[in-house]
Amino acid sequence: MNRYFEDFTAGQTFKHWPGRTITDFDNTWFTLMTMNTNPIHFDAAYAATTQHGRPLVNGLLVMATVVGMSVKDVSENAIANLEYESVRHTGPTFAGDTLYAETKVLETIASKSKSDRGVIYVETRGLNQRGEEIMILRRKILVPRRPA
């Protein structure tokens, strides 16, 4: 917790714990709260006629949960999230699935304009309870250097 720029090195991996089980309630309310009108997320009768045969968990809920799980280890001390470079949903998530996450530091970049900070470039993978990857994202985070 409260990691500074100097605490990160390229290749370092964090396994985030605990996991988070996504419920029907989580999915329905998140979907409706964010005004997503695609019935694949909240209409079980409609979802039964689709490829997966049941409602899919809203991908932004998956992303928010996976990123949230990484905060304690990676960005709790951040000045700012600078960029979400890429987000890929590599597998479906259903109500009842438990999400886990792990983050690998890809690069650390010291600021050239401000000596009190730097950027960490990370890749976070979301996994389900069977260890199957369901999401992968890359982001850049501005973090402070350790005070003198």
Q: What is the pLDDT of residues 16-65, one digit of tens each?
A: 999 999 999 999 999 999 999 999 999 999 999 999 999 999 999 999 99
Q: Where are the domains of the chain?
A: 5-22+65-144
Residue 31 pLDDT: 93
In CATH, the number for domain 5-22+65-144 is 3.10.129.10
Residue 1 pLDDT: 63
Residue 128 pLDDT: 98
Residue 138 pLDDT: 98
Residue 83 pLDDT: 97
Q: Kindly indicate the confidence band of residue 148, based on its pLDDT and cuts at 50, 70 and 90.
A: confident
Q: For residue 31, give the 3-state DSSP assignment.
A: helix
Q: What is the pLDDT of residues 83-100, one digit of tens each?
A: 999 999 999 999 999 999
